[in-house]
Amino acid sequence: MSDILLSGVSKVFGDTQAVADLDLHIGDGEFVVLLGPTGAGKTTTLRLVAGLEKPDGGSIRIGGRDATTLEPAARDVAFVFQQYSLYPHLSVYDNLAFPLRSPARRMPEDQIGRRVEEVARMVRIHHKLANRSTRLSGGEMQRVAIGRALVRRPSIYLMDEPLSSLDAKLRGELRLELKRIQAELGATVLYVTHDQTEAMTMADRIGILAEGRLVQIGTPRAIYTEPANLHVAAKLGQPVINLMPVGLLPATVVPPGTQTIGARTEHLTIAQAEDGHADGVVDWIEHLGDQNHLHLTVKDRKLITLADADTPLRKGDPVTIRLRNPLFFDGGGNRIGGETQ
Amino acid sequence: MSAAAHSVVEPTPASKRIAGAIIILYAVVSMVPLFWIIATSFKTPPDSIAYPPKLVFTPSIEGYCNLFTTRTRQTAEYIASLPPPENFCDEVTRKRNMVIAGPSNFLPRFVNSLIIAFGSTFCAVFLGTLAAYGFSRFKVPLADDLLFFILSTRMMPPIAVAIPIYLMYRELGLSDTALGMILLYTAVNVSLAVWLLKGFIDEIPREYEEAAMIDGYTRLQAFRKVVLPQATTGIAATAIFCLIFAWNEYAFAALLTSGTAQTAPPFIPTIIGEGGQDWPAVAAGTTIFLVPILVFTILLRKQLLRGITFGAVRK
């Protein structure tokens, strides 16, 4: 296992700045998730680390060794792709054995057999080794893809939305398994996703990318509670954070320079209005089973928050809304007091 | 089940029968000439020119005897003085007052055809695969213009350049050589091969090679281990198209080969001249000439079907 150090890395495609002056350190055995919308530069970052793209500037070090211009084969990294991850003309066994049979390794067949069996058990695909890889379900395919990454015991695992093509239930299962395997092996993982649940549940640290820049990096908790700016704040939390101008709701203390107030469920106290003094009205209640989405109208603004499953509120009820330690953002969208990460 | 009977994807039994009937009708129409040639090859010369044409006849391999031999006319006395005939061909030849003088040129011409057609197909597909991969995966400067240039070599009938090629080949000493014919057919076929194969290789996602390259393979190794196996259908289909062209080509073969490198297509018609209108021998030559393509096509028929319909159904 080893670490990855990106310093000042940038990459341009035509006139698109895919990655801009990126500094990122992924420690040995750390699980770092890059989160961002399509086109934020997540996949390009992964491909740069893998050696599938050459950076236009900056340097990449893997395990202390300068890897900036090394061929992919020489970097000792494994890559799990979002799709097309298995060689369709090979069986499951041959897919798993493929990296071990590479001319760079030339591992004897009996040793390959043992390694493949071991990994197949780990990713629970042992019973399907003889199958054609095209005859597997989506979940099984991604298991094999993960197995193919594991089989060589590389120093770094790179994963590009490996679960995004699966249905929700499978995604949940494989998420747990992936985390279990990573913990078992103590593997260094750089993982790209746009799914905030994956990021929150698996990551040691989350890096938020936007337009090729690293906006913020920190533990899931820190990113959630202390977002650096509006972009990061909107990235995490379900339902999405409510953004409102100052003065929409009566707030206690607003720091100078505040332009926007961000309020998640835990920043709002909602109660039935009693003396005719209401801040807003319940617009709609979405029943999710274990909880409810509460849609509120305050003046001409809509707010969305969570409510208990047994909330007494009904559609049309007037309510009082109080802010409790919300997030404050200045005119540039940066969180006030959010300099620390 | 009743829903399936009316669905768009599942044709009704009636429409299946109509479609089947149309296909059978088309197959019969296309195959009648083939059956006629094969039947003629097993007729005797008098039967082959009988009018009305004989549908029922006693099969004979006289045509095949005549195809593979040259014969000389002899007097009845001389033939009577010979020892008894050794085989059927001897016997049938003597009945026509002739004796077998030696083997004909058909076999060497047929072997020439095999060497030139398969040789040029191999070269065209080999070069085409590499070029198509290059165009598909790398940023080739002026790629579109180059591809158009390659395609433009197909925009006129190849025979239009017959005279310059004839003169060029005479200067270079390539006239009537197998090498010359292989080069020529390769040049004609390589454009088809590049365009067809580029289509197939474009459809193979790059991720496979990238995965292989990360897994410890060089690009060339990844090409061999991952791209080629997935391109086999395309390669097979391309090979059949190239082979059919090179195998059937007549005009250049007639112009540029006359002796040692002559292929079967210009040779077969020359049989007619030898000792009258020997249609069974011509038909026998044509029948044998059909066999390699038939075998090759049957071996690769799945790929050929995929090649014809490629692009129609995807993902």
Q: Which two tokens stand for residue A245?
A: 């101008």
The whole-number pLDDT of residue B39 equals 93
Query: Which pLDDT value is given to residue B166?
Result: 93
Give CA separation, B204 vs B25, B172, B313, in Å: 38, 41, 14
Q: Looking at chain A, which runs of residues are DSSP E strands?
A: 4-13, 16-26, 31-35, 57-62, 65-66, 77-80, 156-160, 188-193, 205-210, 213-218, 242-245, 260-263, 268-272, 280-287, 291-298, 301-308, 318-323, 327-329
Tokens read off for B134: 């290059």
What CATH number did the domain enclosing A279 receive? 2.40.50.140
Number of domains in chain B: 3
User: Which residues of chain A are under the pLDDT cut of 50?
Assistant: 339-341
| In a shared domain, residues A150 and A168 | yes
Which ipTM score applies to this complex? 0.78
CA of residue B129 relative to chain centroid, distance: 20
For the segment B203-214, what is each residue's pLDDT rounded down to a tens digit? 888 888 899 998
Best residue of B139, B209, B214 to probe chain A, by most A CBs closer than 10 Å = B214
Same domain, A305 and A183: no
pLDDT in the model for residue A162: 87
B108-128 confidence digits (pLDDT tens): 999 999 999 999 999 999 999
Q: Report CB contact under 8 Å: B217, A148.
A: no
Answer whether B207 sits within 8 Å of A83, measured CB to CB. Answer: yes
CA angle A87, A88, A91 (to 5 degrees): 85
pLDDT bracket for residue B273 (50, 70, 90): low
Q: Is the pLDDT of residue B286 over 90?
A: yes
Q: Which residue of A has its CA nearest to B211?
A: A79
Mean pLDDT over B146-170 rounds to: 89
**Does residue A198 sit in the same domain as residue A96?**
yes
State residue B6's pLDDT score: 53
Q: With contacts defined as CB-CB under 8 Å, which chain A residues touch B217?
A: 73, 102-104
Examine residue A338 and state whether it is found in any structural domain, yes or no.
Answer: no
Q: Return the percentage of chain B with pLDDT > 70, whole number.
A: 92
> Residue B259: is its pLDDT beyond 90?
no
Amino acid at A250: P
Nearest to A84 among B207, B213, B218 (CB): B207
Task: Give the pLDDT confidence score for residue B121 in this predicted structure.
Answer: 96
Tens of pLDDT, residue by residue over A8-17, are 999 998 888 8
pLDDT at B314: 38
Q: How much is the average pLDDT of B159-177? A: 92
| Residues B7 and B93 grouped into a single domain | no
Residue type, B208: Y
Which residues, 6 or more positions from B286, have their beta carbon under 8 angstroms from its beta carbon? B37, B41, B268
pLDDT score for A98 = 92
Q: What percent of chain B has pLDDT over 90?
A: 49
Looking at per-residue pLDDT, the higher value among B110 and B8 belongs to: B110
Once rounded to an integer, what is the mean pLDDT over residues B37-57? 88
Contacts of B213 in chain A (CB under 8 A): 52, 71-73
Domain that residue B14 falls in: 2-41
Bond into B33 cis (ω within 30):
no
- Does residue B216 belong to any structural domain of this protein? yes
pLDDT tens, residue by residue, B95-109: 888 888 889 899 999
> 0.95 cut: is pTM over it?
no
- pLDDT confidence tier of residue B315, bands split at 50, 70 and 90: very low
- When divided into structural domains, chain A yields a total of 2
Give the other-Cβ count within 10 Å of B314's Cβ.
6
| Same domain for A251 and A196 | no
Give the per-residue pLDDT at B3.
46
